[in-house]
Structure 1
Amino acid sequence: MSIETLSTNSAFGGTQGVYRHRSSATGTDMTYSVYVPPHADGAKLPVLWYLSGLTCTHANVTDKGGFRGACAEHGVIFIAPDTSPRGDDVPDDDAYDFGKGAGFYVDATQEPWAAYFHMRSYVEDELPALIAGQFPMADLNRQGITGHSMGGHGALTIGLRNAGRFVSISAFAPIASPLACPWGEKALGGYLGPDRAAWREYDAVALIEDGARAGALLIDQGDADQFLVEQLKPELLRDACAAAGIDLTLRMQPGYDHSYYFIESFMADHIAWHAERLKG
C-alpha cells in the first residue's frame, strides 16, 4: 500500500509525522499522524491511539494536544487518525454533528453514508495493519486507546469491544451513552437506522450492560463543560461500571470546559496511566 509522507518534524528527540494513504475501508484518502519517541535500535514500543471529537481532524490533537513530551518520557507511540472520510464525493450534512468530521466511529448501514462511513473498520482493522507494516518498532501486542468527546465514545466502545487487544482505555469528556443524548440519537439513527438494538454495540453503557468488561477505565471530565448535562452524562457510565464491578476512575475537574486547554492539562496524566499498564 502506498503511503505519502506529508510532513515530519523533530520533537522531544523523536519524530512527529503526518501521512496519507488510500483507504479501502472508506474508499477515500485518509490522513493520520504518528509520533515516534526516541528509542534504541530494535526496541519495541507500546502504542496509544487517540480518537478526536466532532469537527476535528488528526491535526487538532497533533497541534494542540501537548502529548509529545510525555510520550518521549514514557516511550509511547501516539497515533491520531481522522474522524471521518473526506472528499468531494463523500456525502455530508449541513450540521456540524453529522457527516464529515462526525463519523462517530461506526460502520454505517444506511444510504448514502454506507458507501464511505466505515470508521469502525478503519480504526479497528485497516489502520493498525498499516501501522504494523510502516512502523516496525510499534508493539501492537501493547495497545491503549483514548479520545475526546465523540472520540472518547469511540475509545470506550472500541476498547470494550476489543478488550483482548487494548490493555488500557481512557477518555476525556466522552459521550458516555449515545443512546441517551441528542448527539448520539442523531448520529446512530442516521448512520444505522431506527432499530435501537443495532446501536448498542456503539454505546459504552450498553456494551457494559450487555457483558463487555475492561480492567480499568480513566475518565477526566470538566465540571464547566457546556455539554456535560445534555450530551456527555458521565454518571451513566459511573453507574454502569459500578453495577458491573469495573474499576472506573472518574475525575471531575473543577473549572475546566470542553476545549483542548482541558485536554492539554491532563494529557500527561493519561499517557503516564497508559504507560504503566503497557509496560512490557
Structure 2
Amino acid sequence: MLENLNDRRALLERARTELIENENSLATLAEAKGEASKAGREAFAQWKDDSDWRTMEKDRLTVLIEELSREVANEDAAEASARLRETYKRRRAANGELANRIVNELSRINSETLALLREIATAAIEDVTINAALPDDLEPLVSAHVLARAHPGRARQELSSKRLSLWVRSDNGAVVGDPDAVEDVGNGRGVIRRMAPLPNIRCHKASFEQISFHPAEAPIRPIALWKMRLADAKGPGFIFDGSELTHPSQVLAALDRAAQIGEPRDRPIETEVRPLGPDKR
C-alpha cells in the first residue's frame, strides 16, 4: 500500500505543478488574444486551438487533482486506522502486563506496609504505658514514627555582617529612603531642602549593622503514619483507611479487619419472585 500511496502522492504533486503551469499558459494566451486577432484568421484559429486545449487541460487536471486527493485521503485514513489498531493491540497487551504487576507488587507493598503499621501502633501503645510510669530523671519516649519523620527545626544562623552608615531624620530617627536627596553639610549632618513654605528636614548619619542569616525554622511534628489509605491491589476499594483513626488501638482493630479482606468468601445468594408473562405460563 505504501508504494501505491507514494505513487499517488507523486501523481498528485505533478498534477498540481502542471495545473499551475497550465494556468500561467492560459494567462499568457489571454494577453495574446488581441494580437492574434490582428494577425489574421489563421493566427487567431491557432490561438483558439491553444486556448481550447489549455481550457480542456485545466478541467482535466482539476478533476484529476480532486480524484487523487480523495484517494490519498482515503489511504491516509486507512493507514491511520491500521496504526491505531496496532497501537491499541500493544497498549492492550501492556495494560494486561501492568495489571498483573499492580496485583503482585501492590500486594507485596501492602503486606509490608500493614506489618509496619501494626508494629508502629503496638510500639505507640507501649510508649504511652512506659511514659505514664517514668521517674523524673527519665525523659518521655518519642514514638518511632516521630523520630523517623519529624522536622527537628533549626536555630537562626548568622552568615555575615557589616557596618553601615545611613542618613536618618533628626526629628524621629527614621531612615531616609532616598539618600541622594540629602545635602551633606559636614560633621555627619545633612539637610533635605524643600520648597517654601515646607520646612527643611534636618538629618544626621547613624550607624547600623547589616546581617545576613538563615532564619530559624520551627520544629514540625508529623501526622501519625497510620493516617494513610492503602488501595486494594485486587479490588476497587481500600484494604486500610487510617484517615479518621486517632488512637493506636483503633489502628490495630482496623489492621485486623484488613487481614480478613484477602480471605476468600462465598458469593452471596439472594432469592426473588417474579411474575411470569402469558407466553411462559
**TM-score, reference length from structure 2:** 0.18
Q: 1 or 2 for the larger relative contact order (CA 8 Å, sep ≥6)?
A: 1
Could you say which structure has the larger radius of gyration? 2
- In terms of fraction of residues, the more strand-rich structure is 1
Higher helix share: 2
